[in-house]
A and B are shown apart, each in its own frame.
Chain A
Amino acid sequence: MMPGIRHAGAAALAIAILAPPPVGAAEAGKLTKSFSEKSSRTLDVRPGGVLWIDNAIGSIVVTGGGDKVVVETTRVLRAVDDATLESLKKKSSILIEGTPESRIVKSTGLVSSVNALARIDYVVRVPASTQLNLLSGVAEKVRVTGVSGKLYVRNWRGLVEVADATGPVQVDTVNTNVHVSFSRKPVSPMILTSVNGNIEVRVPQSSKFEWYAETMKGDILTAIPVKGRPSERPGQRIYHASVNGGGGSAIRASSITGKVYLLPMENPRALAASVLPQAPQSVVPAPKAAMKEDVGVMFRSVVASLLVVPPSTRTFEVRKGRVAGNYDFAATLGENVFVGEIDGFARIVSAGGEVVLGRVAGDCRVASQGGPINLGEVGGYAEARTVAGDVTVGTAKKGGRFGTGGGSIVVRRSLGPLVLETSGGDVIVGESASGVSAETHSGDIRVRLDSKGTADASELRTGRGNVTLEIPKDAKMTIDATISMSAEGAHRFESEFPGLTVVRERVGDGVRVRATGTINGGGPQLTISASSGNIALRRAPDKIATAAPAQR
């Protein structure tokens, strides 16, 4: 099988084998007591009116045709004992509310646990023009055929099938596949969304429509010749095609981690190929130097990709042992990037995902739309910024600048100047041989400077939190530390170094404590600012070089 090719027909087999078991089946062995009850009712719904079916557990099958709304239900109860079964009988029921313009059928008291299962299966016949809102939680299936009114389906688990709908269709699912098929050309707009399932649309090959497909971790495939235009947003891949010249209705399909298929109705065994310029298998970075040990890009196997089991995003990653040169990579799909060693410089732009680099010999620059960044040892200057997530650095030999839109920053050891910024979270520097500029909007700051570190100016600021600074006992610095607090005595300044002048003053409704002066005769400026927190100036252990870094 060629890379990027999927045998769509095989998917059906895989689905048949691996489809979710019937609701509660896993517990059915224990649920020895059972009860089943069928009922039928004709509802008063005017032509073109709205029918709601809200069923948390159980299938819904709706067929268009006839001139009446007929609802047939099967209530299935299973329990571990008679008492539980009786309780289920009392609690589970069907409520019918609303008016002929908008009729609501709602299941209540349904449950699926280790001790009990209560589900209701619906088989409904409606006039074709009826508008349908089907709210399903967990179901073996939700199937709708032959309707012309507006259709909305929401489902969390269980296959959703829509066949020959001529009205507008919207489907929202979570961990479930969506199959939509047309024996005639589609004429109405359609919006199909799944979080972790695949979306499959089958149309007559000659159909004309606008096809919009999106995915973040999956793929976009078709077995119908189309000429389209791929585009990208951070972490997202988008494809738009005017099928057979386009025009007419628009079919929009989006799956976060699943695949989006466009297939011909006439050929159920048609081979579908990816329309994206970089199919997942080919998402291999183009390093500027050869790789000595390339573990390669790891993805799910072809077989696994056909299963209805939601794909795991954890396997969607780029993993390398060692890069014998520079490494310049844009992870546009939001892949996780794991690289053991990079002999040159590293430049990584991530659309959102975890970035872990063991050792980078040269400079290192990482920018991420979101996700943690973990750098082991950086020989050159390091820069790392993520929109959200923690930044952890083992050793920054030439210092660096690290930032996060929310999360902690931990630098265990730095030999160069550090600039650290977080919108919220702690900042921890285990040991620095150069000045540190650290700022957090809210969070604690803990920094230890060695004797070289105190030779530079440092500035530590927190909008809310404590600041603890450890410096050698013979450090020569000029101190300016300020605490802003709401009430007298709420926070305190502590120093293990004598000679500082502490002044308290009222500022507006609050109190400001300012400690100024020199220690050991003065030296580089050390500015500390904390709001609603303590400031502690402590003596570092004598053997600072071998001291364990401050722990989180």
Chain B
Amino acid sequence: MSDCTLIREQMPLLLTESLGSAGREAAHQHIEACASCETEWSKTRETWKLLAEAADRPVPTRVRARFLDEAASMGGAMSRRPVVVPFTRKPVFRRLAQAAAIAVIAGGAYFAGSTRGTTPATGTGMIASASPAPQFRISENARLSADQIAPEIAGSPAISNVRFIDHEGRPGEVGMTFDLTQKVTVTGKATDQSLVNLAAYVLGDSDHPTTSRSNAIQWVRDTYSTGQTADPQIVTALSGVLRNDAHEGVRLKAVETLGSLPAASLGGAAAQARQALIDALQNDPNTNVRLKAVEALANLAAVPDGFDPAAVETLRKKASQNDENPYLRVKAAEALSQMNL
């Protein structure tokens, strides 16, 4: 192999700064001395630059499907392939190479997962971390380094919306982003912050109603209605549901749950709950939601220092409002009569 051939093969590595310092120095010295290689190097750099500026187009569905199928069928052999993507100036080849790299990761993950047995018993599909004590983060866009992912894919996770991404400033790296539908079971104490956060997120996630919100509210009510487990975050989430959900039944459950939470243990969140209830009492179009808001406000006021002037005024106005439901008016009056004003 001539020096020029060797240097031209190393150009992708040179671009991605993957060569060692000695190799990099030798390559640059050759390019400076060789006119043809200098021309080739200029073209390579220009192409690389254009590729970086080009829009990221999704891979055609059939190509993507083929790679995913191959990834699923490759098994363990793939895991031993190097996770290095050779550079090519032809975009289509580069894309294919990127996809192949992902296939390597995915296939390797599948293989390792099938042998290491790190999948939770309840999981049907899971990309498991190979780290000794992994901390799984639930986020909108989880970013994982390939070398931190166990090379197994357990079960048959539904991978969708696959897109391939460029190096993002880190030459030599490629990436793949996708939506992964997997069953995750999180267990722990109700007071574990991760569970609290999850419950609050599910309650507030109106963009992705992947679960029945009313079911979530019922679970929250069953779980967090004791003095030991009530959490301000839950109050925040329920308040959001009460204010924003378009469906009466869901708001009804939210207001009932707010009313069932132990007022004495809410601390600063009691004010937030109270304000959400006041808003509901003033503005909610559904009579029963307003009715439940009255009961919940009375519940909040029943604890020491639970008195709130705004709540009293709202209840007073409701009780006196001629066009309000008469039963609700009486309930508001009853709530006021029981308050320790």
The prevalent SS among residues of B at the interface is: helix
Q: Whole-angstrom distance between the alpha carbons of A207 and B252 in the complex?
A: 51
Determine if B337 and A216 form an interchain contact, defined as CB atoms under 8 angstroms apart: no
Question: A350: nearest residue on chain B (CB-CB)?
Answer: B327
Question: B160: nearest residue on chain A (CB-CB)?
Answer: A488
Q: Whole-angstrom distance between the alpha carbons of A534 and B291 in the complex?
A: 29
Interface locus among A161-169, A281-289, A308-316, A320-328: A308-316
A461 within 8 A of B: no
A371 within 8 A of B: yes
Determine if A387 and B327 form an interchain contact, defined as CB atoms under 8 angstroms apart: yes
A residues near B320, Cβ cutoff 8 Å: 172, 193, 195, 254, 256
B287 within 8 A of A: yes
Q: Whole-angstrom distance between the alpha carbons of A532 and B290 in the complex?
A: 24
Known: A156-B341, A388-B291, A407-B288. A425 touches B248 (CB 8 A): yes
Question: A389: nearest residue on chain B (CB-CB)?
Answer: B288
A residues near B58, Cβ cutoff 8 Å: none
Determine if A388 and B287 form an interchain contact, defined as CB atoms under 8 angstroms apart: yes
Determine if A426 and B336 form an interchain contact, defined as CB atoms under 8 angstroms apart: no
Interface size on B, residues (CB 8 A): 43
A36-85 interface with B by 8 A CB criterion = 56
Neighbour of B304 across the interface among A113, A193, A314, A440, CB < 8 A:
A113
A residues near B315, Cβ cutoff 8 Å: 195
Neighbour of B326 across the interface among A56, A174, A369, A534, CB < 8 A:
A369
Neighbour of A423 across the interface among B214, B286, B305, B325, CB < 8 A:
B286
A466 within 8 A of B: yes
A280 within 8 A of B: no
Q: Mark A366-379, 1 if CB is under 8 A from B, else 0.
A: 00111100000000
B329 within 8 A of A: yes
**Which of A254, A465, A485 has most B Cβ within 10 Å?**
A465
Q: In the complex, what's the smallest C-beta–C-beta distance from A41 to chain B, in angstroms?
A: 26
The prevalent SS among residues of A at the interface is: loop
B158-213 interface with A by 8 A CB criterion = 158, 160, 181, 208-210, 212
A424 within 8 A of B: yes
B289 within 8 A of A: yes
Q: Whole-angstrom distance between the alpha carbons of A465 and B217 in the complex?
A: 12
Q: Whole-angstrom distance between the alpha carbons of A491 and B210 in the complex?
A: 7
B117 within 8 A of A: no
Neighbour of A195 across the interface among B158, B247, B319, B328, CB < 8 A:
B319
B309 within 8 A of A: yes
**Which of A113, A353, A424, A487 has most B Cβ within 10 Å?**
A424
Determine if B214 and A444 form an interchain contact, defined as CB atoms under 8 angstroms apart: yes
Q: In the complex, what's the smallest C-beta–C-beta distance from A428 to chain B, in angstroms?
A: 13
Determine if A406 and B333 form an interchain contact, defined as CB atoms under 8 angstroms apart: no
Q: Whole-angstrom distance between the alpha carbons of A370 and B7 in the complex?
A: 86
A residues near B339, Cβ cutoff 8 Å: 175
Determine if B341 and A389 form an interchain contact, defined as CB atoms under 8 angstroms apart: no
28 A–B contacts from the bound complex (CB under 8 Å)? A312-B334, A313-B333, A313-B334, A334-B326, A369-B325, A370-B291, A370-B326, A370-B328, A388-B286, A388-B288, A388-B290, A388-B291, A406-B287, A407-B288, A424-B247, A424-B248, A424-B251, A424-B286, A425-B252, A426-B249, A440-B249, A441-B247, A464-B250, A466-B212, A466-B215, A489-B158, A489-B181, A491-B210
- Given A137-B341, A174-B341, A196-B336; 11 other pairs, CB 8 A cutoff: A138-B341, A156-B341, A195-B332, A195-B337, A196-B333, A257-B330, A311-B337, A352-B326, A388-B290, A424-B250, A463-B247
